[in-house]
Chain A
Amino acid sequence: MFGLLEIEDLHVSIGGRMVLKGINLKIDRGENHALFGPNGCGKTTLLNTIAGVPRYVVERGRILFKGKDITHMSMDERARMGIGIAFQSPPAIRGLKLKDLIKLCNPEANPEKVLKEMNFLEFADREVNRGFSGGEIKRSEMAQLLAQRPELVMLDEPDSGVDLENIKLIGRAINKLTEKDTKPSKRIRSGIIITHFGHILDYISVDKAHVMLEGTIVCTGSPREILEQIKTRGYEGCARCLCPT
């Protein structure tokens, strides 16, 4: 049986510099993964490469989604296959209203409904991300994903810049996107989330966590345990692999 997403020996460069150096990762249907790692280690690079952003050049290895090799597929094809991403820092788009973008994500979606879920209705007529604060951008991204309903939900720091009250809301949206109220054996959607703070993990459940250092995954295990180790020993500890075995 194929996992929903399988990554084999992935090497990726940006502007001629190798950033990812041999990533292997498998995400099964219904699973939720967390990705930890210090600034600049390549977390965003990994998600954007999966999404198909052309700046990120795959030098070696491949990406399979639903058993199909998507390594060289265009971004929009991947999106239509069921890959969705909340960007770490998306651009603003002049003259495009948020509610209209939500319609573009999915013509069947009800913009009012998804915006309400993110407590974001008053931004419906605002131009996408223009003048939004950090936390507002995150809510805008989540609303778009709620409309899009991807099978693989990739979240790049969805909690950074978000106040405590809205973190709860974002947590709830993530649970919805990853079908937390469906029996585990019946879930078909999966998630991968990048976060620096454990706080969001109080609201969502994560099955596996990975630690990334300098473009490779150095450790995989239970999210709570890994987070605990990072808190006490820092990424420095991961580098020397100080976890009890």
Chain B
Amino acid sequence: MSDIAERARKALGKKATYGPDVDLEKYDVEAKPHEEIQRLEEIPEDVRKAALGVGVTLEKEVGGAYIQMDQTPVVARSSTEGIEVLDIATALKKYDGLRDYWWKLVPVDQDKYTADVALHPPAGYFLRAKRGAKTIFPLKSCLYLGQTNLNQRVHNIIIAEEGSELHVITGCTTPSHVQRGLHLGVSEFFIKKGAHVSFTMIHNWGREVEVRPRTAIYMEEGATLSNNYICLTPAKTLQTYPKAILDGKGAVASFNTVLYAKEGHLDTGSEVVLRAPGCSADSITRAVSVGGEIITRGKMVGEVPDVKAHLECVGLILSEKGRIDSIPELDGRCGGLDMSHEAAVGKISELELEYLMARGLTKDQATGVIVRGFLDVEIKGLPESLREELRRITQLQELHGGA
């Protein structure tokens, strides 16, 4: 532990590679504590409503739930055999500091944000599917930032043991009255032999919130991952760049990202390292700017022959002011691999607009229909209930054309 703290302290001033620098001093460290919640019905209306906005319906079909209000885990429970849902502090105690997992993927001294998380009491979730266990209904978690100007720090550990199957949806959100705050989230994923994980993250932040997730994923032989990230409301600045290492034969990772930026600055992407033969990865991003600035990075690193990787980014700019900067990178380090990318940034097709207008839709309605269709990516590896949930989210939003 002290070694971790030592390294963190040294990195406190270290700026991140990407994204505008955040002044941590500006944010409050002290979080008001909240009461633990015994029954899901007791969840405050504010939280319930905010959770719904990020696809976390708590009433039905929940395989397990984790809810964190500010820095307090208020719900952590599983209703599925073989699936563990704990708050991270409890898990650290129960499992001897989670020695094989804690800060094993995300370097504690990666930047000032990881360092800041490491130097404060841990909050976050611990999700584990035991060997061969399967979630029928997804685990739902909600990280709720309800205190204005708080620095919310989260550290999550997700473990899918051999042959297990884990579906998780996480919503990160602020209620409408909280506009300012900081969210730092470290997540470390361990997907073991033959395990399948779908992880869907939906962000819905206030306009002055700054967000710095730090995610790393380790995949063994035959592991599969469907990682989905959706952000349709503006944050002041958001920068995330999860890294996946496909270390076992035949591991398959798929990243889907859907972004819609009315304002603010989104810098997202992912890096996938293909380290074993037969591995494959794809990353698909759909980005719409109606004034916001979006940077989408994608990097694939092929270290051995017989791997396949594909990057795709399609962006629509619907106003005069928006920006979409697509930065695909392919790093092939040997012969016998197959890597490709495809990127297009542009405006909405006039032909498509006219087609719908010929059916009586106004230009604004037609734009909305086309944009919703554009954002409706076919996401592989998701259970049907989650698919529906996601569709509901993308269709719910009021999506506008440019000025």
- The verdict on A79 contacting B355 (CB below 8 Å), with A95-B375, A96-B373 known, is no
- Given A53, A75, A95, which contacts B376 in the complex, CB threshold below 8 Å? A95
Complex interface: chain A residues within 8 A of B349 (CB): 91
- With contacts A93-B370, A93-B373 taken as known, whether A104 is within 8 angstroms of B358 at the C-beta atoms is no
Complex contacts, B354 vs chain A, CB 8 Å: 53-54, 75
State whether the Cβ of B369 lies closer than 8 Å to any Cβ in chain A.
Answer: yes
Stretch at the interface among B116-124, B163-171, B359-367: B359-367
User: Residues 341-368 of chain B: 1 if any A CB is under 8 Å from the residue's CB, otherwise 0?
Assistant: 0000000011110111111111101100
Once the chains bind, are A93 and B359 in contact (CB under 8 Å)?
no
Separation of A53 and B352 alpha carbons in the complex (Å):
12
Residues of B within 8 A of A222 (CB): none
CB <8 Å contact, A79 and B369:
no
* Contacts between chains A and B (CB distance < 8 A), count: 65
Contact A76 B361 (CB under 8 A): yes
Please tell me if the beta carbons of B355 and A87 are within 8 angstroms of each other in the complex: yes
A107 CA to B241 CA, complexed, in Å = 43
Are the C-beta atoms of B360 and A79 separated by less than 8 Å?
Answer: yes
A115–chain B nearest beta-carbon distance, Å = 16
**Which of these, B351, B357, B374, contacts A74 with CB under 8 Å?**
B357
B interface, by DSSP: helix, strand, loop or mixed? Answer: helix
Tell me which of B355, B361, B370, B375 has the highest count of chain A C-beta atoms within 10 A of its own C-beta. Answer: B355
Min CB gap B246→A, angstroms: 29
Taking A54-B354, A75-B357, A105-B359 as known contacts, 16 extra A-B pairs with beta carbons closer than 8 A to each other, sorted by chain A number, are A53-B354, A76-B362, A76-B363, A79-B360, A84-B358, A91-B349, A93-B352, A93-B369, A93-B370, A94-B374, A94-B376, A95-B374, A96-B369, A101-B356, A104-B360, A105-B360
CA distance in complex: A95, B377 (Å): 8
- Bound CA span A93–B363, Å: 15
Closest beta carbon of chain B to A130's beta carbon, Å: 10
Q: Which residues of A contact B372 (CB under 8 A)?
A: 95-96
Asked if B373 and A95 make an inter-chain contact with CB atoms under 8 angstroms apart, the answer reads yes
Residues A91 and B352 in contact in the complex (CB < 8 Å), given A96-B369, A96-B373, A104-B369: yes
With contacts A93-B370, A95-B372 taken as known, whether A104 is within 8 angstroms of B356 at the C-beta atoms is: yes
Contact, CB under 8 Å: B358 / A87: yes
List CB contacts (< 8 Å) of A55-107 with chain B. 55, 74-76, 79-80, 84-85, 87, 90-91, 93-96, 101, 104-105
- Name, among A75, A85, A104, A144, the residue most crowded by chain B CB atoms within 10 Å (CB to CB): A75
